[in-house]
Every structure is written in structure tokens, then in C-alpha cells.
Amino acid sequence: MRAIVRAVKRSRFLFGLRSEAEGKRMRHHYSKEERGELHSPNYLLYMKNSDGKYISPFHDIPLHDVVEKTLVNMVVEVPCWTNAKMEIATKMPLNPIKQDMKNGKTWEDPSHKDPCTNCCGDNDPIDVCDIGSKVCSCGDVIQVKVLGALALIDEGEMDWKIIAINQEDPDAQMFNDIDDVRRYKPGYLEATVNWFKLYKVPDGKPENQLGFNGEFKNRDFALGVIKSTHQYWCSIIYRKTDGGDIICKNVSISDSPFYCSHEEAESLVHSAPKYVKPSPIPEEVNKWHFLNK
């Protein structure tokens, strides 16, 4: 049998990281500002809050939706049906979204060994896959229902994938746990496992390994993963743990040693290249890959 692997076809999201207690009792709204040239190494997507002030999407967005606490916030990195591997730049001030040019949020602590898989974290914010039908844009902040989790072991590192659904999806009320995905979207989870196992093979890398024999864990397990990884983030934002190269500069956690003023944040953004019209996307980006199984 042959498996067909496309270079994209998956939405990828990040949890916002601040705790609900650090946010105001109202739903936040966010906007975006592009700098540099899209499809190039100098492209940067910065985030703004409701007041138009620059923020870090890694550190200044609450974890929970402050209106409906059963929901969590996510920052869209890779919208569905797009190819570019966009991700929050953890090693840049204010952590703009940029394209990962090399081959091949909660925060997964590289010094913490997961007791379930015996692997350490990948030093990145935790990833989430939205199973809904609504296509979002890079940098959108959406509220989702957590449904389950998949334990991906990416080149020996623990890389949790949280399964969730956008609360604005027309079918969101039907989904409350991972079994609902099996019931209402038969074959979806199997396709997701196949994708994560094989997506690096076209680059000449081996298949990724999966914890729990590739089985999806339920909602309660996923919420436990989110809680524990959020605690690791709290440790670095308050300098209780060495975050290594991660830049923790933020504008909203006043008792953090990495707190900065909005004026400093504005100066950082304005030092980046101005936005220019993007270059065409190279044709090879849309190449299909056929793998023998």
C-alpha cells in the first residue's frame, strides 16, 4: 500500500500562556502587524492587544478564555491548507511569528522527562491541532475546547499534540472528548497519526515515533498535560528555571523579572524592517510525495 504525504494539510496552533488570573474579566481582542517580506527569512508577524499595544503572543495572552473558563486560547501559527512552517520565535524579543527556514507555547521543558514516555520536552510551546472546519489566519487568537492528546516523539523529544475544536465551529457542541472525534469524524484520528508519523520522511528523516502505541489520550489527560506544561512556563517567566535561549520579555506580568514597558516593546518592533510586498511562492513548495509502505 502507498501512503500519500502532502507538505501541509494540517492546522497548527499554540496555547497562550498567561494564567486567567493575570487577565482582565473580559474577552480580549488582538490584532497583527506584519514586518519584512512574507516568504523570506526577515518576515515577522507581531501581535497587539485590544489597546493597540505590542505584546508577546508567547507570554502576554491568557491561557484560559476569561469569559468562558472551559475554553483555552490558542494562537494560530500554520492555518489549514497552507505550506509555510510558521512558528512563534521563542528566541526573539516579543516572540513574533516567523517562518522556520531550516529543513525539516505552556512550554515543554527540555530538562523535564515525561513520566509516561520517558522523553524530555522540545523547549517549545505546546502544539494543538484544530479539527474544526473554519479556516483561520496566521496570528489569529481563537478559543477552543480541548478534546484529547497525542504523544509524538520527534527525534527523541517529547512533542505533545493537543486535539481541540474551535468553539466557533458550527459542530463544536457535538465534541466534548476524544471519542466524539471517532464518532463524528471517522478516520480523522487515524489520518492524523499517519501525518505525524510520516511528515518528515520526504526530507530524508526516519518516521517519528509515538507514545502509547499511537493511541489518543482523552480530554482529562490532555488537560493534565496543559496544566503541567503551563507550570513549566511559569517557572521560566519568574526565573525559577533557566529558560536557556528563550526570550521572556513581556509587557503584562509586572512582577516578572522580564517585564518591559510598552514604549520599549514599540521600539523593538519599529527596529524591524518595514513590510514590503511578498515574493512569489516557489513552485517546489507544492510538490507531492509518494511513500512506499
The predicted-structure confidence for 203-216, as pLDDT tens digits, reads as follows 889 999 999 999 99
Q: CB of 125 within 8 A of CB of 60?
A: no
> In whole angstroms, what is the distance from residue 248 CA to residue 92 CA?
9
User: For residue 111, what are the contacts with CB-CB under 8 A and spacing of at least 6?
Assistant: 120, 121, 241
The predicted-structure confidence for 209-245, as pLDDT tens digits, reads as follows 999 999 999 999 999 999 999 999 999 999 999 999 9
Domain boundaries, the chain: 8-272
Q: Pinpoint the alpha helices (H) of the chain.
A: 178-184, 188-198, 219-237, 262-270
Q: How far is CA 28 from CA 48, 60, 67, 234, 260, in A?
A: 11, 11, 9, 21, 20
At residue 162 the predicted structure's pLDDT band, cuts being 50, 70 and 90, is: very high
Strands 2-5, 289-292: pairing kind: antiparallel
Q: What is the mean pLDDT of residues 105-134?
A: 65
pLDDT for the residue numbered 282: 78
* pTM attached to this predicted model: 0.85
Whether the predicted pLDDT of 4 surpasses 50: no
> In whole angstroms, what is the distance from residue 242 CA to residue 45 CA?
26
| Rg over CA atoms, the chain | 19
Whether the predicted pLDDT of 174 surpasses 90: yes
- CATH class (in words) of the domain with range 8-272: alpha beta
What integer best gives the mean pLDDT of the chain? 85
DSSP helix/strand/coil, 196: helix
Report helix, strand and coil shares of the chain as percent, to nearest 5. Answer: 20, 25, 50
Q: Which residue has the higher pLDDT, 40 or 261?
A: 261
Whether the predicted pLDDT of 113 surpasses 80: no
The predicted-structure confidence for 71-104, as pLDDT tens digits, reads as follows 999 999 999 988 889 999 999 999 999 998 764 3
> In whole angstroms, what is the distance from residue 41 CA to residue 100 CA?
8
